[in-house]
Amino acid sequence: MLIAGTILFAFYLLVAGVMFVYGIPLEFVLLLTLGFVGFQWKFGKWAALRSVKAKDVEEAEHPELYRATERLSRDMNLPMPRLMIAEMGVPNAFAIGRKKKGTVVVSKELMQTLNQQELEGVIAHELAHIRNRDVVMMVLGQSIASLVGIAVYYVMLFRGGGRSMGGFFLAYIGAMLAQMLVIVFVRAISRYREYVADADAARAIGTGEPLARALEKISNTNEQVVKQRKAQGQQGAPFDDNVSALMIFDPEHGLLRSAFSTHPPTEKRIERLRYGTF
């Protein structure tokens, strides 16, 4: 994630630098960078669905899943989202889109692992993300981080009094650190929003126990799959790592990963759901 973020930010700086060299004001450069929000939004939705090869669900194909999503959407005061299914290799689910045009994707493995009540808990969690505009917040947060980084870069470069190679390097390091600080803050908000979505889901279905059981099953199965993949020389989950931020469960662990994680520890989520400490 750090490498990908560095490359993406370097690309932003390169584009901004070329524009600035050709006499385009910095204010316009920052405004144009903000325009990348729309591109990231559209491309991100397309890439997420394509990466798991999601397909639309017809009511006749999975009537219980469709009717449960329809009922929960009505109870949570949401339009019926686009419902899709995918083979992810693990039981998982994610939501993308905005309040009036959301999409919920569930894996076939999730439907095979959970009973109906547990599945409804997961669906309610994903609908809560759509209702609370959490996906929109994440995209905006990433874009703001890029804007802050670019602004810091040019401030350090010109206030530093020189455009030497050392000046460019120090400005780039400062910009990267500023961007990372914003990202850490955005990810901390994302972890809090997971708790909020859990609480909203528990209220929607009347109890937190089904979602707690679902998280236990999802966590156990995912960890088994990850262990098997590592034993075979493969790393992480079988789906694209860029999609993991959207999933109801993120299988990766580690100290550095925790600082940048979009999800809180699963055991803490389960505890809050079971004991009502939202």
Which residues are known to be catalytic? 126
Backbone dihedral region for residue 83 (phi beyond 0: left; psi -120 to 50: alpha; all else: beta): beta
Tokens of 196: 């909020």
Tokens of 147: 């804007």
Using CA atoms, how far residue 99 sits from 166, 184, 273, in Å, is 47, 25, 24
C-beta of residue 198 within 8 angstroms of C-beta of residue 125: yes
Name 106's bridge partners. 85, 93
DSSP state, residue 172: H
Tokens of 218: 């999802």
Residues 6+ apart with CB under 8 A from 158: none
Q: How far apart (Å, rounded) are the C-alpha atoms in residues 183 and 179? A: 6
Would you state the torsion angle of the CA atoms of residues 109, 114, 118, 123, taken in this order, to the nearest 10 degrees?
A: 20
C-beta of residue 147 within 8 angstroms of C-beta of residue 34: yes
Tokens of 173: 């390091």
